[in-house]
Amino acid sequence: MPILANDPTKKTWLKVPKDSDFPIQNIPFGVFLTRDDIITIGTRIGDYAIDLGALHQLGYFKDIPLTDDIFLQDTLNDFISDGQKTWRAVRNRISEIFDVSNDELKNNDSHKEAVLFSMDEVEMQLPVQIGDYTDFYSSKEHATNVGRMFRDPENALLPNWLHIPVGYHGRSSTIVPSGTPVRRPLGQTIPKNSDQPVFGPSRLVDFELEMAFITTDANLMGEPIPVSEAEDYIFGMVLFNDWSARDIQKWEYVPLGPFLAKNFASSISPWIVTMDALEPFRVDSPIQVPEPLPYLRLNGKHSFDINLEVDILTEAGIPTTVTKSNFKYMYWTMAQQLAHHTINGCKVNSGDMMGSGTISGPTPDAYGSMLELSWQGTKPVKLNDGSERKFIQDNDTVVLRGYCAHKDVRIGFGEVSTKLLPALETIK
Amino acid sequence: MPILANDPTKKTWLKVPKDSDFPIQNIPFGVFLTRDDIITIGTRIGDYAIDLGALHQLGYFKDIPLTDDIFLQDTLNDFISDGQKTWRAVRNRISEIFDVSNDELKNNDSHKEAVLFSMDEVEMQLPVQIGDYTDFYSSKEHATNVGRMFRDPENALLPNWLHIPVGYHGRSSTIVPSGTPVRRPLGQTIPKNSDQPVFGPSRLVDFELEMAFITTDANLMGEPIPVSEAEDYIFGMVLFNDWSARDIQKWEYVPLGPFLAKNFASSISPWIVTMDALEPFRVDSPIQVPEPLPYLRLNGKHSFDINLEVDILTEAGIPTTVTKSNFKYMYWTMAQQLAHHTINGCKVNSGDMMGSGTISGPTPDAYGSMLELSWQGTKPVKLNDGSERKFIQDNDTVVLRGYCAHKDVRIGFGEVSTKLLPALETIK
């Protein structure tokens, strides 16, 4: 089935602001609460949230085999389970319904009343129930920076890094959508030159600029997904802020990896942009030397040119863009990550989420965390209000944005915006 | 509400074999498929599986506030969400229904027909949908053994170990109930004296003798659970075999922890034994020196005297008990683990599972893994058929068992029995 929805010449009868992340060529999927307090699955064009549950009840998807309640759900998991052919058919059909030349909905005011909401009047929810969440560590620049700071500057990359898309398991229960504030965590840290840990709020709370992909049911337990098929099982992508408490991490992470330093919160953008929408923005990923083992080899363009940036907003609301990076810098591709994840037979389900790891670019203004931007606090980052940051302060808001752009089309992710609240003062 | 079901003098009108793990004082909870292919929540007395969905429909729980379909579900998550008071009321009521002096069900043949199954005719399922799974590393003997083998024998324990109940995130999607075979994983390993990894089946597949506890909804995101309240949020425990591929682990685990070495499979026993049933078997846990930070301090008996053993069955079915250990050896208690897990505000949900880590005792015959029993393969373990094992061979079956025993009562967990299948010969 061709991806008709990607036609760059297509226009819609809905008003779309110039430079919107959500032209009719995007058609992402999300879950929202309507003004009537009803949860539904929807899409977005311009600044309109579109209720797919209502559209389906009104018969607009009658030619696609879908269960009656597929969009009347509080997560996208079942729709994602329906597989690529269904996602594509639904996205193409939405594109048709809102095409400027199509009058069927455009001229039906009562239907429009039921289907169209202003983004202001809906409340975005977590789009999927995330069964398992894995975070990779696939930016060579980031892994090198961390290795230079914490290990041996001469041998910054660990021996396994060029052979394995290194990853580890994270916690699903604290993944929250954009807009949900996050509290500075309490925990154990180890003072310099001491062997006695102390208890209190983390002093080194950081963002990590990441993206994450959402999978469909991909395999039976015990069966690997070949790298050549892996992309078929990826539904789409979101922006991902993997909050990190660097001082807690330092004390806890040897030998079993980060735990409380990460699992207090992770934040995602609420609209899942489909891999179909990103198709025009494929690019080569970095050349891999040494060549990976055969189960990880894949020719062709398997990375994506996605511009990324992070703003810090002070409590007074003054924004500063602290970094600009790009998803295409990732050394390991999503296809390789998914093939590696399942080579041992690990089962992947609909709604599972896999993070890229911090996406740092080659230059210091493209680093993906305060740890790197301030180089462990030695080079404070100047903000537009005159203040400085080594890490994130209480009541700062961190905003990640991402978009792809060609001459004719811009496909964006919107944003994931999260305010850091002060730590609890006492515990029960 | 008193835990009436624990009365050691109580007898049932059902036939219970001598030394059964499931006397009327146990009353565990599980999920099974009946002979009519219906999924239901149930309990077990002796060798009878008891359909709680049917009992509830017949009115036997009419004095307890329960939703109509609470037991007609394929997981225990909603029942566990109902909280400790409800679990206790239901368990006490089951104890009353099957008490030797109670005729209401005993003398009603049609009801008995609907409610009672032989264990032979039901198929046990995974008892909960596990949202997040965490594995701790809380046996001092195990951590010391691993440190002696892989790091510095003189400083076997890492500096954080005596201060933190070290834990890490695992994968929920591959947790399977007893009886589900597990396939030897493929993956990357690093040959001795080489810096080039090779691909193939893991050669060092191991069991880990663990137990795990299942939680209820315990807190809001951002709010720690105080150590003094933590036990109220633990529903019960199961036996847990945390399958491990030691050679894959060695190559992948620095710096972010074990990943593919663990997530190919983990196996649990199907009956969740409640903390109420384990109450009579409380014991002191080991004295902790240095004293932990205040948020981890808790006086009193917070460990449990649970005898554990592991058998290896060869393909011909010849069993050998390779280790005998006890849950009481754990250095960190479950209350401390849960308090630590949430001190940063990490949210815990109903059906989450937390593993103890490998439970090794103080003597070499009480070690909880082949890695330790064969001391990295240097001391092969002799089996009763004359063969030897350094690690687990294809078509071996590993069986974990556990039980508590006082003079009058034995409360057991049954077993988790898992056959290791050969690796896939080719991948697609």
Residue A395 backbone class (left: φ over 0; alpha: ψ -120 to 50; beta: rest): left
User: B255 with B277: CB under 8 angstroms?
Assistant: no
User: How close does chain A come to B314, measured CA to CA in Å?
Assistant: 22
How many angstroms separate the CA atoms of B45 and B47, rounded? 6
Residue-level pLDDT at A428: 65
Q: Each residue of B342-379: b (16+ CB within 10 Å) or e?
A: bbbbbbbbbbbbbbbbbbbbeeeebbbbbbbbbbbeee
Mean per-residue pLDDT for B225-249? 98
Query: Structural domain boundaries of chain B?
Result: 4-124, 133-426
- Smallest Cβ–Cβ distance between A222 and the set B137, B160, B183 belongs to B183
Nearest CA in chain A to B428: A226
- Smallest Cβ–Cβ distance between A226 and the set B183, B187, B428 belongs to B428
Nearest CA in chain A to B352: A173
Strand, coil or helix: what is A211? strand
What is the band of B359 on the pLDDT scale with cuts at 50, 70, 90? very high
- Binding annotation of A for Mg(2+): 242, 262, 266
Number of Cβ pairs < 8 A linking chain A and chain B: 209
Measured between beta carbons, the chain A residues lying within 8 angstroms of B343 are 185-187, 260, 427
- Smallest Cβ–Cβ distance between B346 and the set A132, A195, A260 belongs to A260
| Closest among B87, B114, B117, B92 to B102, alpha carbons compared | B92
Does the pTM surpass 0.80? The reply is: yes
In whole angstroms, how far apart are CA B99 and each of A274, B144, B302? 59, 47, 30
* Paired tokens of B141: 């003997």
User: How close does chain A come to B182, measured CA to CA in Å?
Assistant: 8
Measured between beta carbons, the chain A residues lying within 8 angstroms of B156 are none
| Closest among A412, A413, A397, A428 to A179, alpha carbons compared | A397
β-strand pairing of A244-245 with A282-283: unpaired
pLDDT tens, residue order, chain A (428 aa): 899 999 999 999 999 999 999 999 999 999 999 988 999 999 999 999 999 999 999 999 999 999 999 999 999 999 999 999 999 999 999 999 999 999 999 999 999 999 999 999 999 999 999 999 999 999 999 999 999 998 889 989 999 999 999 999 999 999 999 999 999 999 999 999 999 999 999 999 999 999 999 999 989 999 999 999 999 999 999 999 999 999 999 999 999 999 999 999 999 999 999 999 999 999 999 999 999 999 999 999 999 999 999 999 999 999 999 999 999 999 999 999 999 999 999 999 999 999 999 999 999 999 999 999 999 999 999 999 999 999 999 999 999 999 999 988 999 999 999 999 999 997 76
Which one-letter DSSP state was computed for residue A177?
A: E
In this model, does residue B101 exceed pLDDT 70?
yes
* Contact between B428 and A349 using a beta-carbon 8 Å cutoff: no
User: How close does chain B come to A219, measured CA to CA in Å?
Assistant: 11
Residue-level pLDDT at B329: 97
Measured between beta carbons, the chain B residues lying within 8 angstroms of A201 are none
In whole angstroms, how far apart are CA B253 and each of A404, B258, B412? 35, 5, 35
Q: What residues contact residue B89 under an 8 Å CB cut-off, 6+ apart?
A: B1, B64
Active-site hit among A56, A111, A142, A302? A142
How many angstroms separate the CA atoms of B390 and A377, rounded? 48
Measured between beta carbons, the chain A residues lying within 8 angstroms of B183 are 221-222, 345
* Contact between A251 and B164 using a beta-carbon 8 Å cutoff: yes
User: A134 with A348: CB under 8 angstroms?
Assistant: no
B295 annotated to bind ligand: no
How many angstroms separate the CA atoms of B26 and B43, rounded? 9
- Smallest Cβ–Cβ distance between B347 and the set A132, A168, A174 belongs to A174
How many angstroms separate the CA atoms of B4 and B25, rounded? 9
* Contact between B263 and A168 using a beta-carbon 8 Å cutoff: no
- Smallest Cβ–Cβ distance between B345 and the set A185, A294, A352 belongs to A185
User: Can you name the residues that pair with A411 across neighbouring β-strands?
Assistant: A404
Choose, out of A174, A215, A256, the residue to mutate when testing the contact with B (most B CBs < 10 Å): A256
User: How close does chain B come to A112, measured CA to CA in Å?
Assistant: 38
* Contact between A166 and B349 using a beta-carbon 8 Å cutoff: no
CA dihedral A283, A287, A288, A294 (to 10 degrees): 60
Active-site hit among B56, B142, B302, B340? B142
| Closest among B47, B44, B65, B46 to B56, alpha carbons compared | B65
Nearest CA in chain B to A251: B160
User: How close does chain B come to A254, measured CA to CA in Å?
Assistant: 7
- Smallest Cβ–Cβ distance between A259 and the set B163, B168, B245 belongs to B168
* Contact between B344 and A170 using a beta-carbon 8 Å cutoff: no
Mean pLDDT of chain B: 97
* Contact between B255 and A260 using a beta-carbon 8 Å cutoff: no
Nearest CA in chain B to A131: B131
- Smallest Cβ–Cβ distance between A343 and the set B186, B224, B346 belongs to B186
In this model, does residue B428 exceed pLDDT 70?
no
Nearest CA in chain A to B250: A160
B262 annotated to bind ligand: yes
Q: What residues contact residue A197 under an 8 Å CB cut-off, 6+ apart?
A: A188, A189, A190, A251, B160, B163, B164, B293
Measured between beta carbons, the chain A residues lying within 8 angstroms of B264 are 222, 344-346
CATH for B133-426 is 3.90.850.10
Q: CB atoms < 10 A from the CB of B8, how many?
A: 11
Mean per-residue pLDDT for B199-214? 98
* Paired tokens of B392: 């687990």
CA dihedral A109, A110, A115, A119 (to 10 degrees): 60
Q: Specify whether A142 is catalytic.
A: yes
Q: What residues contact residue A218 under an 8 Å CB cut-off, 6+ apart?
A: A225, A233, A338, A342, A348, A349
Percent of chain B with pLDDT over 90: 96
Q: What is the pLDDT of residues A85-138, one digit of tens each?
A: 999 999 999 999 999 999 999 999 999 999 999 999 999 999 999 999 999 999
Please give the single-letter amino acid code of residue B425.
E
- Smallest Cβ–Cβ distance between B254 and the set A158, A248, A352 belongs to A158
Q: What residues contact residue B192 under an 8 Å CB cut-off, 6+ apart?
A: none
B151 annotated to bind ligand: yes
How many angstroms separate the CA atoms of B87 and B215, rounded? 13
In this model, does residue B427 exceed pLDDT 90?
no
- Binding annotation of A for Ca(2+): 135, 208, 210, 242
Nearest CA in chain B to A163: B197
Measured between beta carbons, the chain A residues lying within 8 angstroms of B193 are none
Top-level class of domain A4-124: mainly beta
β-strand pairing of B48-51 with B39-45: antiparallel
In this model, does residue B215 exceed pLDDT 80?
yes
Choose, out of A193, A259, A288, A344, the residue to mutate when testing the contact with B (most B CBs < 10 Å): A344
Choose, out of A148, A216, A259, the residue to mutate when testing the contact with B (most B CBs < 10 Å): A259
* Contact between B197 and A163 using a beta-carbon 8 Å cutoff: yes
In this model, does residue B27 exceed pLDDT 80?
yes
* Contact between B346 and A173 using a beta-carbon 8 Å cutoff: yes
User: How close does chain A come to B234, measured CA to CA in Å?
Assistant: 17
Measured between beta carbons, the chain A residues lying within 8 angstroms of B163 are 188, 197
Q: What is the pLDDT of residues B279-309, one digit of tens each?
A: 999 999 999 999 999 999 999 999 999 999 9
Measured between beta carbons, the chain B residues lying within 8 angstroms of A340 are 260
Q: What residues contact residue B362 under an 8 Å CB cut-off, 6+ apart?
A: B141, B329
User: A298 with A228: CB under 8 angstroms?
Assistant: yes
| Closest among B329, B397, B352, B303 to B134, alpha carbons compared | B352
Greatest Cα pair distance in chain A = 73
- Binding annotation of A for substrate: 137, 151, 249, 253, 358
Nearest CA in chain B to A147: B255
